[in-house]
Amino acid sequence: MFALIIAGEAIFLLPFILMRVFKPVIREAFVISDAQIGEAQALYGITAVISYFFGGFIADKLEARKLLSISLILTAIGGFWMTMIPSIFTLKILYAFWGVSTIFLFWAALIKATRQWGNAHNQGLSFGLLDGGRGFFAATIALSGAAILSFFFPADSIEITFENKVQTLQYIIGTITAIVFLVALLVWFVLPKEEIEKSDSKEFQFDFKQALGLIKQRKVLFHSLIILCAYCAYKLTGTYGTYARDVWNYSLEESTYFAVFIQYIRPIAAITVGWVADKFVPSKLIIPSFTILIIASAVLGLGIFYDQPIFLSFTFFVFMALGTYALRGLYFAIIEETKTPLQLTGTLVGIISVVGFTPDIFMSLFVGYMLGENPTIVEYQNLYSLFTIIPIIGLLAAIGFRKAIK
């Protein structure tokens, strides 16, 4: 399970965590706007959505050790490419490549292996450990990067040159790339060959009729919508650091540490909620998680605490993070409630991921165009106000899922 946790986050360090935590310095080093970042990540989303669907079939036929290792190595190659600080056009091509390397052979295999690791009564804890462990690993990597920023960009520095920013970012990207490559070796040597039993692939021959049967089920539709809304909230966490920079006037160092702090909420929320979910029913806890998101985003959108001390709006960002990361620990744990056969897990994950992770296509574009090039408190309020619609949809989908499985 340790290898699955490390691999599960290492694969996304370069395309996601890097941008989520170090976005302020990336914008300045690449001379790129939020809108252009959104365009690059949209290309990732397009190739990823295609990869989710076909990758699900492969996960039901091949062992996780090979699939995960190959994906990690390909992603690391892209990291070496990024250290050269390519042009905006090349950066977009790189993100399209990552959409395939991080998903096609990886995602469904990871989820199926995690479901196998936990039994029918421990799905909440299994997926809570997976996402919480991934979050802790990502936050630790981010904290190390923040320490590098603190070293090169001390708070009392009078002048920070463009060359300093580029060189420091190259150190961070290069270090993360090396970590991804080392994790690929870890997975290859640690994961047992029996991670996915050979008998499964022999007994099960993929049938498009079976896949179509899954697609037609109401519970699968609602499950997909739950993931979609929860993932939109997760994508929104990328704005927390830039909000601190643009609205609270935090320095690069301070805004980065704030983003890292938010990352550390993830393991606490995901593991705790996963453990509690096994005492009750995972799908029941999705409802209050979306409710927290609705309240917190509405408060931030209305700007109620804008003229008040920072710690008040800070608190609601914490609530947003708690609701978001709780959902991440739950939305695959409910697979067991659908009573889908284990040998169809990869196919099911591929189907629900096609819908559930489409925010990879539109969410970054949405955020980028809502904020513009020089965002102020007004742009952020508009963003969070409009976002409130999404957790409302998620709440309705969660209620619909509960009714469908009954």
Q: What is the pLDDT of residues 36-74, one digit of tens each?
A: 888 898 899 899 888 888 887 787 777 878 899 999 999
Which tokens sit at 356? 């559930």
Which tokens sit at 71? 């994906």
Q: Where are the alpha helices (DSSP H) in 155-194?
A: 162-190
| Mean pLDDT confidence for 150-155 | 65
Which residue did the predictor score with more confidence, 211 or 260? Answer: 260
Its CATH class, for the domain covering 2-193+206-405, is: mainly alpha
Looking at residue 202, its pLDDT comes to 46
Instruction: Give yes or no for a contact between 225 and 334, defined as CB atoms under 8 angstroms apart.
Output: no
Q: What is the pLDDT of residues 128-147, one digit of tens each?
A: 888 888 888 878 877 877 77
CA distance 211 to 283: 23
Looking at residue 92, its pLDDT comes to 94
Instruction: Give yes or no for a contact between 55 and 110, defined as CB atoms under 8 angstroms apart.
Output: no
Q: What is the pLDDT of residues 154-169, one digit of tens each?
A: 655 556 677 777 888 8
pLDDT over 90 percentage in the chain: 34
Instruction: Give yes or no for a contact between 168 and 40, defined as CB atoms under 8 angstroms apart.
Output: no
Which of 109, 142, 115, 113 minimizes the C-alpha distance to 10? 142
CA distance 216 to 312: 45
Helix (H) or strand (E) holding 283: helix 282-302
Q: What is the pLDDT of residues 161-196, one digit of tens each?
A: 777 778 888 888 998 999 999 999 999 888 877 544
E strands of 193-300, at which residues? Answer: none
Q: Which letter does DSSP use for residue 33 in this model?
A: -
- First-residue to last-residue Cα distance in the chain: 31
CA distance 107 to 110: 5
Phi, psi of 387 (to 5 degrees): -60, -30
Looking at residue 177, its pLDDT comes to 94
Which tokens sit at 42? 């949209």
CA distance 342 to 315: 41
Looking at residue 204, its pLDDT comes to 44
| pLDDT band at 119; cut points 50, 70, 90 | low
Looking at residue 155, its pLDDT comes to 57
Looking at residue 208, its pLDDT comes to 63
CA distance 110 to 134: 12
Which tokens sit at 306? 């804008």
Neighbours of 121 (CB within 10 A): 9
